[in-house]
Amino acid sequence: MKTRYFYLISSILLASSCATTINQSAVTTVASSSEPITQVTINSQLTTDELLSELFLAVEDLSKSMQKTERRQVSQQLARVVSLSDAIRPKILTTSEQLASDFDRVINLTKSAVERNRPADADKALRFLPLIIDSLKTLK
């Protein structure tokens, strides 16, 4: 039963990743590193479910800010997403290597959204993160 969920999530992520079309003539911008790096602290007392909820909210905020092109907020929100993912990933890895890999893909989408100014990547991350969260809940 658990294996079926892994294959389902993997198939969904694989199928959806194939839908991206690369346009070589499109202009891509890379975020400048002139903005100060925000230090984010995560409460170590939070449970995995609480951390995942916080992560979902952070990715949602990032996606909304990307639509509004609020660069300063976007950088701060990405720092929060990365900090939360760093706290969550070891817990996911003990559960499933495949889910950890899928989780990494979602986090990499948020990073590329900011680094390459691609709001669609933040939206994809926001769509796929609940699938990972649901899979983790079913494994408990």
**Predicted model pTM:** 0.70
Q: Which of 105, 16, 125 is nearest to 62 (CA)?
A: 125
CA dist 45 → 82, 87, 88, 91, 98 (Å): 18, 11, 12, 14, 26
Percent of the chain at pLDDT > 70 equals 71
Report pLDDT digits (tens) over 74-114. 989 999 999 999 999 999 999 889 999 999 999 999 999 99
Domains of the chain: 2-16+40-139 (1.20.120)
